[in-house]
Structure 1
Amino acid sequence: PTPTPTGSISCGNPTSTAGGTTNGLIAADTPSSNGTRLFNQGSAFQVSFVTAATSADTVVWSMQDQLGNIKGSGSFAVSSGKRTSVLSCTSSIAGYFAITATLSRGGGTLPQAGTRPTGIATFGILPNLSSTIPAVSYAHQEQHRFGMQGFNDNGPMLAALGISQTIDDRELSAMEPNGANTWTPALSDLDPFYTSGKIMRLIRLDGIPAWASPTGGFQDDTSAPINLTYYQNYMARVGSDSDAIRKAYFPSQQNNYYQVTWEPQWADSTANFVAMYSAVYKGLHSTDPNAVVMGTTNVFPANCPTQCTQGFLATYGPLGIGNYLDGVTTHGYYNAGTYAAHPPEQYDTDPNPANVANALDQQMRSLRAQMQTVKPNMRLWVTELGISYDAGAAYGPSYPPANQLYGQAAVALRAHLIVLGEGAQVTYFFYGADYPVDVGEGSFFDIVDPQGQYGASNVSPKPMALAFAALTRVLDGTQTLGHLNGLPSMVYGYVFQQLNNGPIVTALWTHNNANWPTSSGTYSATYSTSYALTVDSPGTSGQVTVIDMMGNPVSVAYANGVVNLTLTESPIYVVSTNVNAFSGKYTAPVGYAGQ
C-alpha cells in the first residue's frame, strides 16, 4: 500500500498569565499576525488557551487532521480564574488541524465561533514542497493556473493559498453608475492592491446601470444596453485603461483578459447577444492590442441549452459569436446543487448515457469539443467553482461535523483537478469565507458572524483551504497532458508536466458512489482500491514521490517501471521523471494549446 505520511505537531510548556477574554470555561486560538491562521511547515506558531476554571484544573488538548488522526496532544495545569496560557508549537506535517480541548475536572468545550461549530478551533500548516516540486521559471504571468473569489484584496491569504489572479471591476455599472461619460481612465483608478503586480486581473465587464438599460433598472446579463455604439466607445476606454495598467504594473503579462458576461439570464434577442459581444470586442481591440475577450460564463460547462456555456456556444456559434471571442470562460458547477454529497464523478458510472453526460469530466469534454467548432484552440478558464455543504444544511453549534468537512474538501479538490485535467488553463476557487447563502461554500469559517458575511476577514481554515494550498503548490507551473487511458471503472487519473520539460505529476483517486451517500450520511475516508501506475521503462526500479491531498510527500519504491498505489477518495499526486513512460498512455484535451 501507499505509505501514510508521518509527522506530528509538538508544543513546548505553556507560559501562563492572569486575565483574558473568556467565552465559557475554555477557548482556544492560533493567532497569526497576517490574519490567515495559516503557518509554514516547520515554523513556530502560537496556540493560546483562555480558561475560567472554578478551581485548579488541567487543560487536556489534542490536534486532529481532516481524517480525525491525532497529530499532537498534551495537558497542562491551570489555576482558577481567568488565565491565558500560550504554547509555542511546530509541525513537521502539513494540512488542516482542529484543536479540541477541555478541563479534566471542570469540563467544558471550545465555543462556537461564527460559522465554526462548537468543539473546535482550526488552523493550517502550509506544505513545503521545495525539495519535491522544482521551482518553475515563468516566461509570462498568465502561465499560472489559479484564481480565487472572496479574498480579493487580502494579499497574505492569496499568497498563502498560491493564488495568482482575482477579478477586478470595470463594468459600466461600476464605473458609470449614474450617467454617460462620467469616467475618464486614469492609473489612479486602479485598486492599489494590484500595483504590486503580484496578482493578475481578470477584468469583469457585465452589469448595465439603469440609465443605459432597456429594463429601466440595473440589470446583469439579461439584455443588451440601449446604445451599443456608446457601449463600444465605453469599452474602448476600458481597453486603453487596461493597456496602461498592464504596461505600468504587469511587465511579464502578455495579455489583458476580459470576461464579458457572468451567468447570463438572457431575455433579449439572439441577434442582440451577438451584437453586444461585437460592440465589446471591437471597443476593446480598438485600444488594447493585447485584449483577450472571453465569455459566455454560464453556470454549468455543458449539457443544457440555456444555463450552460456549451449550450450558448451551440446557439450563438452559427450566428458568428466566434468572431468576437478570443477565449472561453465558464463556471464549473456540474449540477443544480454542487454539494459534498454530489461529487463530480457521480454520473460517470450511471447505466443511462444521458446521465453520464452530466458528469463533470464529460461536461468539460463536451465544452471543449463545442469550442473547437466555434474557433479552434481557444483558451478556457473556469472562473468559479465551489462546493457547499449538503442540501438543507444550516450553520449551527453542531454543524458541520468533521466528516462533512472532509467530504467537502475531497469533492472540491477532485472537481478542480477534473477541470484542469480536461483542458482548462485556469481554475478559480470559490469562495473565501462562509456567507449567508450557499451554506458552507467558503473555504474558511467566518469566526465572527454565525451566518457568515461577504468579505469576512476574521477567519479560520477548513480542510478545503489546505487541499487548495497543496494543489497550487503541486500543479501551478504545469501543462495538462490529459486523462490516463484504460483506467478501471471508478478510478480517475490526470497527467500534468511541469513547464520547461520538467517532471511529470499524475493526480489519482478513486470514487465509489456506494461509499458516498447522496443524502446525509457518512463519506468514506477509508474506501480504497489498488492501481499500478507505469512511471518508468520496463525493467527499471527506483523511487517516486507520492504527495497526499494536504501536500505531504513520501518516497515510494517502484519495480519493473511500475509503482503500486492504494487509491482512496482523497487524491494523491505522483511525481516522476520519465516522460517517455507516459507516451501513448493519456488522451489530451481537444483544443488545449498549453499554458
Structure 2
Amino acid sequence: MQKAGGTPNGLITADTPTTDGLRVFQNNAPFNLTVTTNSPNADTVVWSIADSNGAIKTQGSFPVSAGVQTNTISCKSTWSGYGAITATLRANGGTLPHSGTRPTGIATFGVLPNLTSALGTVTYAHQDQHRFGMQGFNGNIAALRALGITWTIDDRQQSQMEPNGPNTYTPSVNDLDPFYKANPDQMRIVRLDGIPAWNSKTGQFTDSYYAPKDLNEYQSFMAKVGTDTSLIRAANYPNQQSNYYQVTWEPSLGWADSDANFVAMYKAAYQGIHSTDPNAVVMGTGNPFAANCTTCTTGYLQKFGALGLWNYIDAVSTHGYWNAGTYPAHPPEQYDSDPSPANQANALDNQMAQLRQVMQNGKPNMKLFFTEAGTSYDPGLAYGPTVPSQNQLFAHAAVGVRSHIIVLGGGAQLTTLFYGADYPGEVGYGSFFDLNNAQGAFGASNLSPKPEAMAFATMTRVLDGTNTLGRVKNTPSGTFVYDFQQLNNGKVVTAAWTHNNSQWPANGVYSTTYSTSYSLQVDNAGTSGNVTKIDGYGNVTTLPYSNGQVSLTLTEVPQYIVSNNATVAKNNSTVPVGYTGQ
C-alpha cells in the first residue's frame, strides 16, 4: 500500500515499527514493513531481507511515485531469528541511512521462536530455578520478556539507601521499585557494593575498594536490608525459595584496604543479613574473571578463604569475562587447542572447571552465579556508518551465546547477559542497536535487535528450566557439546557447536560456513527414531537417527538437539564438580 507523505531521511528509509520500541515480533504474527521514499521521479524500490549469515530470506520490488511516499508491506514470518532489511531505488540509488549505533545500509528486526511443540512446558518447583538474568534492561519488561529473562539486579547499596548519614534507612515491604511489583516474574539479585562518603575511609564514595569505616553500623544496615528483602519476597515472590545478595562488585579492579578488612566486611554483611533473613544466600566475590589468576574469583576465594571468607558466603558469584578480552577475535574457546597447558587454562571451559574445583575444596556443593558476562565488538572499532559489518554481527552473536552455554554447562546455576542496548564508552556490548544516539545511551528505548539478541532469545527458551548434565565425553578437538535435562526428568537438550581458530582469524573476517561432522548418541545402540533440531535462532527441524546415533553438521553457531533418553545422556556426560542442580 502506497500513501503520499511521511518523514523522509534521504532518498529511502525502512522500518518495522512497534509501540514498545523493540522491533521484535512473535513467530507467524503479522507486522508491517514501511518504506519511505523521496525520489525525484517515478522509480522502483528493490528490497531484501537477509538473516544473520547474510543469506537472503525474501526479496521483492515495487513502483513508487515521485516525492515523499510511504509504502507499507504486510508481513508474517514462519522463520525465526534476525532480519536485516536492505532497500534502494533502482534508478536513483540511495541506501538506508545510518541511525544511532546501527550502520548504514540496514534496518533490523527480530522474530521470536515458538518452541512449545519441540520443548513442551516446564514446571518450576521454585521460581529461582530459572537460569537467565540481564543487565541493561531494568524497567523494560517488553525487552526482558522477549529475551526470556527472569532475573535483574536491584540496588540496595548503603550509598543508595543511606547516602547522607547512619541509621537513616527504614526497611519496608513497600520499599520496592514499582517495576518489580508490576512484574513479579522478574526476580531480584540484591546488589550491596557501594559505601557512602560518610562511611568511607577515603571521605568519598567507594565501590568495593575499602571496607566501611564503621563496620558495626554497616552490619546494622545489612540487617535492615535483610528485613526489607525478606518482607518483599514474602509479599511478591511466594514461590521464590531464597533471597540472593552480592556483597562486592569487581573488587580486584581497585581493592586498596587490608586483607583482614576484606573478610571483616564480608563477615559484617553476612551476619547482618542472616540475622533478619532466614532465606538469605550471601554471595561473593564478583571479580571480573572467573579463574586462573590471583585477581580472578578463584584467586580471591583462595586468598581470602584462607582468612575465613568461606564462613561468610553461602554461594559464589563472579563475572564471566575471560582473560585477554571478550570480543569476537578472542572467543572463549581460543586457548583450548593451545599446546601450552598454561594457556589452555585461560579457555572459559577450563576456567569453569578450575572455579568449580576451588569452590569444592573450600566449601562443597555451593551454588554458582554469574552476575555479568558480555561480548563487545573487536578492539579498535568505533560506532559509525560502516561499523559494525554483517560479519562482525554474525561473530558477535556466535561468541556471545557460546560463552553463556559454557558457563551453564560448566556448572553455574545462573548466567547474566550483558548488555541491553549499546551504551557510551565501550563499543558493541549491547544486544540491541540504539537508533537515536550515535554513541549509544543508557536507558535507550528506540531500538532494533542485533543477531545476538535473537540468538539469546533462542538460548534462553531452550536452556531455561533445565538442570546441567555436563560436558559430553570424548568429543573431538574443536567440538563443544553440553547436555542438559529439563526439570522433573524431562527432555534432554544438547547444545553443540564447533570452533576452529584457523577459521576465526583476528582480522575480523570470520567464517560463516565452516562446519564439521559429529555423531551424537541420543539413544541406546540398535535403536532408531527421530530427534528435534533447533538451530541457533529457533528454527525447528526433525532429524532421523539410527543405531542410537544422530549425524550432525556443527557450525560456529550453537544448535540444540532435543531427545528423550536421559540415561544415555547422563552416561555420556560429566556433571560439573559440586553442581547439585537447580
Query: Could you tell me the TM-score, scaled by structure 2's length?
Result: 0.99
Instruction: Quote the residue 2:259 is aligned against.
Output: 270
Paired positions, count: 579
Displacement of 1:229 after TM fit? 0.4
- 2:537 is matched with which residue? 550
For the Cα contact (< 8 Å) 2:391–2:508, is it kept in 1?
no
| 1:363 paired to 2:351 | yes
> Which 4+ residue blocks in structure 1 deviate beyond 6 angstroms?
none
> Quick one: distance in 2 between partners of 1:38 and 1:318?
49
Q: What does 1:463-478 correspond to in 2, within 5 Å?
A: 463-478=451-466
Q: Of 49, 63, 87, which aligns to 1:77? A: 63
**Which of 431, 434, 458 is the matching residue for 2:422?**
434
The alignment partner of 1:271 has SS state of helix
Matching of residue 62 in structure 1 with residue 51 in structure 2: no
Q: Write the deviation string for residues 535-575 of structure 1: whole angstroms up to 9, x where unpaired.
A: 11111111101111001111001111110111111111110
Return the letter of the residue paired with 2:178.
Answer: P
> Do structure 1's residue 243 and structure 2's residue 226 form an aligned pair?
no
Aligned partners of 1:188, 1:130: CA distance in 2, in Å?
Answer: 37
Q: Map 1:194-273; keep pairs closer than 5 Å.
A: 194-195=180-181, 196-264=183-251, 265-273=254-262
Q: For the residues of structure 2 that align with 1:435 and 1:33, how far apart are their CA atoms? A: 22
Q: Find the residue that maps to 1:483 and give its secondary structure.
A: strand
- Structure 1 position 151 matched with structure 2 position 137: yes
Give, in angstroms, the shift of residue 521 of structure 1: 3.0
CA contact (8 A) 2:175 2:228 kept: no
State TM-score, norm by structure 1.
Answer: 0.97
Unaligned runs of 5+ in 1: 1-14
Q: Does residue 571 of the first structure (1) align with residue 540 of the second (2)? A: no
SS at match of 1:400: coil
SS of structure 1 residue aligned to 2:233: helix
- Aligned to 1:118, the other structure's residue is in SS state coil
SS in 1 for 2:92: coil
Q: Cα RMSD over matched residues?
A: 0.8
C-alpha separation in 1, matches of 2:544 and 2:469: 24
**AA of the residue aligned to 2:541:** V
Q: 2:291 corresponds to which residue?
A: 302
- Which residue identity lines up with residue 44 of structure 2 in the other structure? T
In the TM superposition, what is the alpha-carbon distance from 1:584 to its structure 2 partner? Answer: 2.5
Residue 197 of structure 1: how far off its partner (Å):
1.1
Residue 414 of structure 1, aligned match among 402, 405, 413: 402
- Distance in 1 between the 2:3 and 2:466 partners? 50
What is the distance in 2 between the residues matched to 1:548 and 1:271? 50
Q: Secondary structure at the match of 1:536?
A: coil
Q: Matches of 1:583 and 1:332 in 2, distance apart?
A: 26
Residue of structure 2 in register with 1:44 after alignment: 30
Map of 1:398-413 to 2, 5 A cutoff? 398-413=386-401
Describe how 1:442-591 pairs up with structure 2 within 5 A.
442-518=430-506, 520-591=507-578
1:282 maps to amino acid: Q
Among residues 102, 117, 123, which one is paired with 1:131 in the alignment?
117
User: Does the residue aligned with 1:281 lie in a helix, a strand or coil?
Assistant: helix
Matches of 1:303 and 1:58, distance apart in 2: 59
Specify the code of the residue in structure 2 equivalent to 1:438. Answer: E
Q: CA deviation at 1:26?
A: 0.4
SS at match of 1:132: helix
Provide the secondary structure at the position in 2 that maps to 1:83: strand
- Whether 1:86 aligns to 2:97 is no
Give unpaired runs (5+ residues) of structure 2. none
Please say if 1:283 is aligned against 2:269. Answer: no
Residue 16 (structure 1) shift: 1.7
CA distance in 2, matches of 1:398, 1:36: 22
Which residue identity does 2:118 align to in structure 1?
A: T
Query: Is residue 372 of structure 1 aligned with residue 345 of structure 2?
Result: no
Kept in 1: contact 2:393–2:451 (CA 8 A): yes
**Other-structure match for 1:12:** none
Provide the rounded CA distance (Å) in 2 between the counterparts of 1:32 and 1:167: 27
> Contact between 2:367 and 2:413, CA under 8 Å: does it hold in 1?
yes
Q: Cα offset for 1:185?
A: 1.5
Name the residue aligned to 1:5. Answer: none
For structure 1, which segment, 142-151 or 184-193, has the greater mean C-alpha deviation from structure 2 after superposition? 184-193
- CA shift, 1:90, in A, is 0.3
Which string of whole-angstrom CA distances, capped at 9 and with x for unpartnered residues, describes residues 326-345 of structure 1? 10110000023211110000
Distance apart, 1:149 and its partner CA:
0.2
Q: What are the Cα deviations for residues 232-286 of structure 1, in whole angstroms up to 9, with x where unaligned?
A: 0000000000011001100100111001000002111111010000000000001
| % identity of equivalent residues | 62
User: Aligned-pair distance for 1:522?
Assistant: 1.0
Match of 1:528, as an amino acid? S
Q: SS of 1:131's equivalent?
A: helix
Whole-Å Cα distance in 1 between the matches of residues 259 and 351 of structure 2? 24
Counterpart amino acid of residue 514 in structure 1? S
* Partner secondary structure for residue 154 of structure 2: strand
Indicate if the aligned counterparts of 2:469 and 2:570 stay in contact, CA closer than 8 A. Answer: no
1:187 aligns with 2:173: yes
CA distance in 1, matches of 2:515, 2:4: 50
Q: Deviation at 1:45?
A: 0.6
Q: How does 1:271-350 map to 2 (within 5 A)?
A: 271-306=260-295, 308-350=296-338
Partner of 1:10: none
Q: Is this contact kept in 1: 2:27–2:79, CA < 8 A?
A: yes
TM superposition shift of 1:189:
2.4
SS of the residue 1:116 aligns to: coil
